[in-house]
Chains A and B, each alone.
Chain A
């Protein structure tokens, strides 16, 4: 205490001045603050815009800037596309609970495809081990199961990622409009507009959104250089991310990475609007359920029993 009193830390002049006048706001100060706020509002309205409002040529320039930045940082030629949603497409996913063996191949294929941070660890897919006796019951689900071999007796497995809800609670709570549902049904996040408030994480009943608590790390040479601006491009610290149905693949016609890696073929993907698609076949022929149906989130991620 004595030492503090003897040598007080230097206070910047402006702070001390502000502190002295904290009790009253003069007319001049109010006017200049209001003018600055108005100017700021104008500049924001005319300046930075949400992704879907940016003119095409400016967006292309921004993406090229990102490409240069990522290429420099990761030492490889990175592409950042902005492939838009195709007309007459509504993506949906189906997962066969009777087949999944809980091997977690999908989890790690997703990490590699979508450039999730390795440390701190971010997984978009969480494989829940459940008791056959209890059925689909989240209060008894264990994502941390360790086993020499799977499937374990008496258990079944429910991998959970973003359910791509039609009535998505996460997009409603975002204060900056950084997350929305694109026309093909993918709920996307603009990492440049995410302020990291994590309201969406609180709103999501599936625990599908993940926060970058630390600077994401991807080992050199492990970056997937084919990225989408709303998907797997490298994320900064302090933003929320989640499954995008592999937007960088599916918007180019391909299957998501988890579909292609699943060793038991439990994962299915397709266009809900195409009567000939695998998804429609499943919905029309199999026993189908969605998670937490009672919350009226209307997921486009279906679980089914093929047997």
Chain B
């Protein structure tokens, strides 16, 4: 069980934190914008990364077009009217993304790319208010990348099946 491993790790860390001092230094503070965050690996489709494995020998075609030979399964519903692959994926270095400024960045820093447009969400995420956090409320927290929850090509959450409703109380109350 992954949860239990995380749990025991977190417990160990909390003990370590408590031993080091009654209030750990990193307590609840949002990381500084320049600080690189510890994030889980980006959720690539199996066998798709590195992209350069296929793309390195290919000529770059910057023309906006429907993809047919490969990646045809990707349906873009993320401002599809204005966006296309190479707005986020870097054409020169296929294993990287790029910001609007042209600055290249790796997939595990993709939150900066998302934050270009979704600044308010990015701020909230850094403060721990947008997105799920696990770990310690007073110490080490595990972040998730935007892409760990939102499919970057179709970011809106899909409805899910709920867990069972509670049983109604028996007896005279109906």
Contact = CB atoms under 8 A, between A and B. Distances in A.
Interface in A111-170: 121, 123, 126, 143-151
A183 to B, nearest CB: 15
Interface stretch (A41-49, A50-58, A234-242, A267-275): A267-275
Contacts of A252: 11, 14-15
A123 B132 CA distance: 23
Overall SS of chain B's interface? loop
A281 B22 contact: no
A286 B124 CA distance: 10
B131 interface: yes
B61 interface: no
A265 B163 contact: no
Interface residues of A, number: 47
B159 A151 contact: yes
Q: For this complex, into which size category does the number of interface residues on chain B fall?
A: 35 or more
B162 A103 contact: yes
Nearest to B132: A265
B162 A253 contact: no
A270 B14 contact: no
A74 interface: no
Given A103-B160, A265-B131, A254 B14 contact: yes
Interface string B1-41: 00100010011011101100011000111100000000000
Overall SS of chain A's interface? loop
Nearest to B161: A149
Given A86-B22, A276-B29, 5 more contacts: A104-B163, A147-B162, A150-B161, A259-B132, A260-B133
B163 A107 contact: yes
Contacts of A250: 137
B168 A260 contact: no
A268 B17 contact: no
